[in-house]
Structure 1
Amino acid sequence: MEAWEQGLSWQKAEEGLNQFGANEIRASQVGWWELLARQFKSPLVYLLVGAAAVDAILGELIESGVILGIVFVNAGLGFFQEFRSEQALKLLKKYTASKARVIRDGGETIIAAVGVVPGDTLVAIPGDILAADVKWLKTEGLEADESILSGESQMVEKSVGSQGLSGTSVVRGKGFGLVTATGKNTVWGKTAKETVETVQTSSFEKDIGKFSKFILRIIGVTLALVFAVNMLAKSGTVSWTELALFSIALAVSVIPEALPVVITFSLSRGALRLAKNKVVVKRLAAVEDLGNIEILCTDKTGTLTENKLALAGVWGEKEKVLWLAGISCLGTGHDPIDTAIWESLPKQTQKKLQVEVAMLDEIPFDPVSRTMQITAKWKGKKWEISRGVEEKISIDSPEATKWSQEMGLAGKRIIAVGVNGRGAGLMAFSDPVKSSTISAIRNAEKLGLAIKILTGDSPAVAGSVAREIGLVSDSLLVIRGDELDKMGVKEQHTAVEKYAVFARVTPTQKNKIIDLLQEKYRVGYLGEGINDGPALKSADVGLVVDHASDVGRDAADIILLKKDLKIIVDGIEEGRIVTANTRKYLLATMASNFGNFYAVSIASLVINFLPMLPIQILLLNLLSDLPMVSIATDNVDRHDVARPMPFDLKNLLATATVLGIVSTVFDFMFFGLFFKSTPATLQTAWFMGSVLTELVFLYSIRTKKFFLTSRAPSWPIWILTGLAAVLAVGIPLTKFGAEAFKFTKLPTESLFLVFGVVAAYLATTESVKLWYYNWRKN
């Protein structure tokens, strides 16, 4: 045995790891101090710190201290949520760690890719992404895709002595390579340091960016007008510094500054909940993308069925067919069919095959021809054994055709075996449907999610399984890949919508089906092989199982630790919950904040003092934002996840405008009721009423139904709204409130008047909400 065939010893590998370090290209790590500093890198924070500095210069030390206190409290809340999100991301990365196949102490084993060291013998088969740079020591028809480095899509043939580069993928054959460089010392490491983590921007993130710019433009124009008019009207009664602080405070009150925190917290919380259910996201935005899927394209085997194949029957000379099939199991790749064949053989036959048969060559399974081939030597003769679908290994016998049709209609998977270019026999395999599949199909229907099967199996088998799980009413409602290819473009569009089962499809045909569906729908695709890469990248969301090829894992957005339709459907529901709660936050902040923003702005133009002091507006913003951050934890009504709800800015603005008008009307009601009171009384009453109306509005806007008949809010919402309400009523009653925020103690009748208006506001906004959603529905 040559030295490389023995590989490194585990002890030598450990020494190499200490000497060369882990085989990884480290992304820049974000420390807690950077997260904390990030909370202060905002134009809003700069404005507030500037305002506090101006107050301090003018001698208003208490007001300056309160403003800075509010800045630090907001920063603390943001830091806490972002820190939790970062911890969630670190946990998720552990789930998606890459693997490598190496030889250690003479045996082939799979280890974490970070543990590969120079001197290791790396074993590469189709679907692998090389974990390190290697010098090829032995190759068997080895071809690699190096387009990630060269940009050229042509496959590169590899021979002994040539170089294999980290990050490139194996397309065909098999290779044994001596590891020459790892981590940052590889060719990939030297070119990828700056781009080790590429950031993908989802459609949701782009829409949020547009929304933020739109809000800032409206606020900027409004504040400029308010400041200018107030300067002209109040030049003798209010100083320009106080007006500037008032304008800054108004801007802070209406800008949804907690939006990034809410989105990050919602997505990371959703990602962790998915991970507990064996669904791991590679990027946080994929959680929201998953929720927006309208069609899920999936394979049959292992997703809908158990993928526990058992030999159910043999046509032909049984002993000969099983012997030939046994030889086909001696190759390097092992799939469930290999396992089922091998387990059906007597122990004595297994030993005989291993001792008497010598492997000469192997052509791994080709997803286009759907066959594989083994060349072996037995009893001094050369045998070419082929195994695959019956259409490719012809058996000219009416009895074989009849047997195959009967088995296919019974849901059995048919595999043909040939020797030296001639068909030798057929084997039938049973693969029972998972117990969870039927309930998952029903749940998918409730979510408005269409399931389509894309499989290489025969139409009879695919149709039988689809009928058993309730996906189709007739097992003949199946279309073959070659039938689809013969259609015109218009017919193809009709076919991909009409049919739920596509049989005998190649990877290219799968990609075509997904492309056609994407012209009208958002599509998810579940694949696992090297040839699924294009389809995984084409789909809006690509999903693979944990044991998928490296190429498949690299192309996917989501990795499943268990291949089961139920966990995918549950994941889609979780994604919709995240989207629904983010929409709630946007609606709540836009409607209530804008209503208050315009009411205070207009009121400032008709009285000779400020309707609410800058420091009071900042406190109002802090107290109303406190429970808003917890909205990511809220429970969601069934109708909110019944169908995809992609971000719709126009719809959001229309709803917020209607409900914002109600908020503005009631703000003016507070203004009218306390108009003749002292400035301090008006400011205190309006502050208290504004906080309480925003809090009750949250309970209304969190559901499209009557709020008392919806699902109960999550406990963080109960606690934080209760705390905010107590502070809103309690602070104005204290000496601290009078000194720090210029509040005054309201008489009992004024307090009851405020509570009465808040109750009337809840009743009115709830009525308008129900009317509006009913009107939209009709």
Structure 2
Amino acid sequence: MRFDHLRNHLLEFLDKGFPARQLRRLVSLDPLPGSVVGRQAPGPLAQGLLECSVLEPQSLFERLSSRREGLSEEEAVERRLVSGLNQLGQERPMSLWAHLWFCYCGPFNLLLSLMLPIAWFTEGRDTALALGAMLLIGTLLRFVQERRCNAATEKLKAMVGNTATVFRSLDEGSGLQRRQEVPIEHLVVGDVLWLSAGDLVPADVRLLSAKDLFVSQAALTGEPMPVEKFAMVRDARQSDPLARDSLCFMGTSVVSGSAQAVVLGIGARTFVGSLAERGSAAEPAPSTLQAAVREVSWLLIRLMLVTTPLVLLLNGLGKHDWLQATLFALSVGVALLPEMLPSIVTSMLVKGAVLLSRRKVIVKRLDAIQNLGAMDILCTDKTGTLTQDRIVLERHTDAFGAVDDRVLQLAYLNSHYQTGLKNLLDLAVLEHLELRHALRVDSRYRKVDEIPFDFARRRMSVVVSERNDYHLLICKGALDEVLAVCDRVRQGDRVEPLTGERLARIRAVAEALNQDGLRVVAVATAELPPSREVYGLADEQGLCLDGYIAFLDPPKETTAPALRALAAHGVAVKVLTGDNAHVSLKVCKDVGLEVRGVLLGPRLDDYSDAELGELAERSTLFAKLSPAHKERLVRVLRGRGHVVGFLGDGINDAPALRSADIGISVASAVDIAKQAADLILLEKSLAVLEAAVVEGRRTFANLLKYLRMSASAGVGKVFSVLLASAFLPFLPLLPLQLLLQTLLYDISQVAIPFDEVDAQLLRQPQRWSRQRLGGVMALVGALGALFDIATFLLLWFLFQADSPARQGLFQSGWFVEGLIAQLLVVHLIRTRRIPFLQSRAAWPLLGMTAAMVAVAIFLPMGPLARLFKLQALPWDFWPWLALILLGYLGLSQALKGWFARRCGWL
């Protein structure tokens, strides 16, 4: 039972790879869990949702003390003060004193606390004071480091976040309202929201009105297909709140359509919040970095569990002082326990995230930095990444290429009256017409209805009325998808049947526009009788093709250099777009991206995953893709062993963002894309991303070197301690000395996050390798033990430190050699080149190393020696020590070069 308790405690401490519960959440800054298992919320909550789902709007507003025009700003603030923020699973930050106590409660500090009263009564006040000073330094070291990490992460977290569109009442009782964007965490019960395509549902809500609203509930139910929602319940017999038509839930997302809704529950008082509180949230699979930290941690823990009892038995039976043997064995165990490993890993990740933020990249999930460093394929959309994201309407023509202002007018009406997600094409139409001041059409028409856009149809329609004798349906969308619902075409003042010959001419005109790099959007219409006010998908048929609007999005000047830089760093760029292949090829050519193969979306379904993976590796451009196609391409590339990044900002990019090893979006993206991403670019540019890749590799390289240092130093220490315990008639180091050595080494590691990385390590993607870890551990550990033995022999035979009476000399000599050798390991492992000569560490690390070497020499030679039971070393010991350390460096460098040639490095 005791072992199980210890193991659970260690798992609590190490399994996530982060040193405290308030740091553990830094792994993911997203407000929602990735998936929820189980669908039954607690009874009272479910019952309340079911009751609200069937109430008439006025009764519902009375129940919530709200009104249709929304709450006023003052009312919202008052409610927020009572209910708190709309946050899910957010732990309250530790108070200063609670955090200080937590930092004290580590194995290293607890062992020092155990030894302190023993030292007071057996060794005297001075030794106890020395232990107290070590205890204070160890606690403050961890405390300061973690507080800095917390503060930096909170600043990063504040830089990214989603907003919700709410209605605010201007004057109670007046019915006047305004729309405004507020942070999601500021929502309160009773707020009236506007939801449209691309929005996350920010709370549990009841719909007041809905138009062709489709919501993805996959995060709650696991069902991949979106479900349609309505303002009123169609079947009130449904006992599952998730099946009620009029309810939407926090954590779901709007795929298409629009709606007005009122907030029923926020934060922990939501459906998903209640499930999370009951522990129903599925634990995400550990990332590569988490697995690496866990692997190193458990390796050292296993070494500790095996070594500690052996050291206790060897020293207790051999020296017959069981108290000293017990304290020494515990000191060895604590020295092996990777207490600082999670803290330093977190510090490195936070420092990397801060540096990335200075390069206009915000990290939402800290361990995504590792995937950024390992990425070898980047899948990206075209618009705004390769191009300037400044779309201009270049032409408006009829179906046969003649300039036609009527087509522009129809496109304007469509863009102006739609209430869904206005994309860059809509904005270009509106800006074009407003700048020309040629057509004043909005005042002459009224909107009747709309049929929102979705990525299956790739078109959307609005229905307007200029006069009451007919309704005009205006459809705008991708050429093939619009042609699929057309049977006529307008030429001048005539409307003619859409024959095969005319269809061929139409496609030739569109292709010529595509060849010029223009993106073509078709516009079609139908006049309908004014007999109804509600229209649906079935009304998009028998249309007349009126013409095209064609857009130009010029390539960015920074794209070509960024593509060359990414290629030089071993990252292959693949373009995944829903656009036409001709336009995409022209853009790729303009930015200098060599296209080795083109795959079209409709053909992807003909291939198995294995066939598609092989084709995808050889191809560069993928056009006419649906969201499912993008997600599948990312998945098959990952299945072939690649680390895949995906850059996107639209609703259709969300599945691929979630499937990629590292999802990358931009600050201007739709909510669902930002929520799915691991990184947020403040500027949508490949140049920014290329700089981020280099910074990610630098951070990951420092992480790898530290993991190898920790594992290698532990293995070497085990060999040395076991050999010394077996053959020496006294303890090789006193417990106090071993703990002091451990503390000084831990202090020196604090500077590793500030280290530089060799240029060649930044040129190629870097990955964690268990096999290379084992090789480095065996190499460095064995060498460390070999030169420890050389030190033992030197002290035993040359300096006659061969009896308990002269053990102080032996312990002082090994204390100095062991600490300096550990410090040299840092510089040996940090580079494949010759340390100090061909590759120098950053000044903080060099300075910390020099300081710890000076302390190691000063302690036995200075006035503090007696506090730690050390004694002055003879002057002729130092040349021998220098010779041993130079031999250690030389042999290590030779074997390191041999190992790097055979197995690689890092």
TM-score range, shorter chain: over 0.9
- Residues 139, 173 of structure 1: 8 Å contact kept: yes
Secondary structure at the aligned position of 1:393 is classed as helix
In the alignment, does 2:212 pair up with 1:130? no
Partner of 1:457: 579
Between the two proteins, the alignment pairs up a number of residues equal to 771
For residue 634 of structure 1, report the CA deviation from its aligned partner: 0.8
- Residues 261, 629 of structure 1: 8 Å contact kept: no
Secondary structure at the aligned position of 1:362 is classed as strand
- Residues 203, 270 of structure 2: 8 Å contact kept: yes
The change in CA–CA distance for 1:392 and 1:163 in structure 2 (over 3 A counts) is: closer
- From 231, 250, 271, the counterpart of 2:353: 271
Partner amino acid, structure 2, of 1:459: A
Structure 1, residues 747-775: CA drift from partner, whole Å, max 9, x if none?
A: 32223332333233223322322232133
- From 819, 842, 859, the counterpart of 1:691: 819
Partner of 1:471: 593
Distance 1:518 1:348 in 2: 49
- Residues 26, 196 of structure 1: 8 Å contact kept: no
Partner amino acid, structure 1, of 2:208: L
In the alignment, does 2:464 pair up with 1:376? yes
- Residues 375, 385 of structure 1: 8 Å contact kept: yes
Q: Unaligned stretches of 5+ in structure 2?
A: 1-57, 59-65, 171-176, 234-245, 484-488, 490-501, 527-542
The within-5 A match list for 1:102-113 is 102-104=166-168, 105=170, 106-113=177-184
Partner amino acid, structure 1, of 2:382: K
Structure 1, residues 516-557: CA drift from partner, whole Å, max 9, x if none?
A: 111122222223333433322222222222233333233322
TM-score (norm 2): 0.80
In the alignment, does 2:509 pair up with 1:438? no
Partner of 2:602: 482
Partner of 1:749: 876
Structure 1, residues 369-420: CA drift from partner, whole Å, max 9, x if none?
A: 2212121112443111111122222373544433332332332212211122
The within-5 A match list for 1:117-516 is 117-146=188-217, 148-149=219-220, 155-160=227-232, 162-193=246-277, 200=284, 201-235=286-320, 239-316=321-398, 317-330=403-416, 331-332=418-419, 333-345=421-433, 352-380=440-468, 381-394=470-483, 396-420=502-526, 421-473=543-595, 477-516=597-636
The change in CA–CA distance for 1:553 and 1:198 in structure 2 (over 3 A counts) is: farther
Give % identity. 30
Greater shift in the superposed pair: 345-354 or 244-253? 345-354
Greater shift in the superposed pair: 363-372 or 756-765? 756-765
The within-5 A match list for 1:527-538 is 527-538=648-659
The within-5 A match list for 1:28-177 is 28-31=91-94, 32-104=96-168, 105=170, 106-146=177-217, 148-149=219-220, 155-160=227-232, 162-177=246-261
Secondary structure at the aligned position of 2:442 is classed as helix
- Residues 215, 255 of structure 2: 8 Å contact kept: yes
- Residues 706, 770 of structure 1: 8 Å contact kept: no
Partner amino acid, structure 1, of 2:776: T
- Residues 134, 177 of structure 1: 8 Å contact kept: yes
Partner amino acid, structure 2, of 1:715: W
For residue 429 of structure 1, report the CA deviation from its aligned partner: 1.4
Distance 1:99 1:194 in 2: 28
For residue 262 of structure 1, report the CA deviation from its aligned partner: 1.2
Q: Unaligned stretches of 5+ in structure 1?
A: none
Partner of 1:704: 832
The change in CA–CA distance for 1:312 and 1:178 in structure 2 (over 3 A counts) is: same
Distance 1:56 1:668 in 2: 33
For residue 689 of structure 1, report the CA deviation from its aligned partner: 1.9
Secondary structure at the aligned position of 1:108 is classed as strand
Structure 1, residues 158-206: CA drift from partner, whole Å, max 9, x if none?
A: 2258444444333332112233444454444444446699864323212
In the alignment, does 2:751 pair up with 1:621? no
Distance 1:181 1:219 in 2: 49
The change in CA–CA distance for 1:459 and 1:68 in structure 2 (over 3 A counts) is: same
The within-5 A match list for 1:758-769 is 758-769=885-896
Distance 2:316 2:839 in 1: 49
Partner of 2:538: none
Partner of 1:606: 727
The change in CA–CA distance for 1:43 and 1:391 in structure 2 (over 3 A counts) is: same
Greater shift in the superposed pair: 312-321 or 73-82? 312-321
Structure 1, residues 304-363: CA drift from partner, whole Å, max 9, x if none?
A: 211101122333242111111111111123211112122222557576221012122222
Partner amino acid, structure 2, of 1:557: D
In the alignment, does 2:645 pair up with 1:524? yes
In the alignment, does 2:854 pair up with 1:726? yes
The change in CA–CA distance for 1:195 and 1:325 in structure 2 (over 3 A counts) is: farther
Distance 2:307 2:691 in 1: 45
Distance 1:150 1:196 in 2: 13
Distance 2:720 2:88 in 1: 54
For residue 717 of structure 1, report the CA deviation from its aligned partner: 0.7
- Residues 256, 453 of structure 2: 8 Å contact kept: no
Greater shift in the superposed pair: 51-60 or 313-322? 51-60
Partner amino acid, structure 2, of 1:571: A
Distance 1:130 1:321 in 2: 36
The change in CA–CA distance for 1:689 and 1:543 in structure 2 (over 3 A counts) is: same
- Residues 128, 550 of structure 1: 8 Å contact kept: yes
- Residues 4, 178 of structure 1: 8 Å contact kept: no
The within-5 A match list for 1:506-585 is 506-520=626-640, 521-585=642-706
TM-score (norm 1): 0.92
Partner amino acid, structure 2, of 1:391: D
- From 742, 751, 756, the counterpart of 1:630: 751
Distance 1:608 1:20 in 2: 68
Distance 2:590 2:249 in 1: 47
Distance 2:316 2:770 in 1: 35
For residue 729 of structure 1, report the CA deviation from its aligned partner: 1.0
Distance 1:43 1:533 in 2: 44
Secondary structure at the aligned position of 2:256 is classed as strand
The change in CA–CA distance for 1:692 and 1:178 in structure 2 (over 3 A counts) is: closer
Distance 2:306 2:375 in 1: 38
Distance 1:259 1:526 in 2: 32
Partner of 2:11: none
Distance 2:808 2:82 in 1: 71
Secondary structure at the aligned position of 1:28 is classed as coil
Distance 2:347 2:461 in 1: 51
- Residues 286, 541 of structure 1: 8 Å contact kept: yes
For residue 21 of structure 1, report the CA deviation from its aligned partner: 4.4
- Residues 378, 644 of structure 2: 8 Å contact kept: yes
Distance 2:517 2:834 in 1: 49
Query: Cα RMSD between the aligned structures?
Result: 2.7
For residue 715 of structure 1, report the CA deviation from its aligned partner: 2.5
- Residues 311, 721 of structure 2: 8 Å contact kept: no
Partner of 1:649: 770
Greater shift in the superposed pair: 123-132 or 260-269? 123-132
Partner amino acid, structure 2, of 1:414: V
- Residues 600, 625 of structure 2: 8 Å contact kept: yes
Distance 1:150 1:699 in 2: 51
Distance 1:398 1:540 in 2: 43
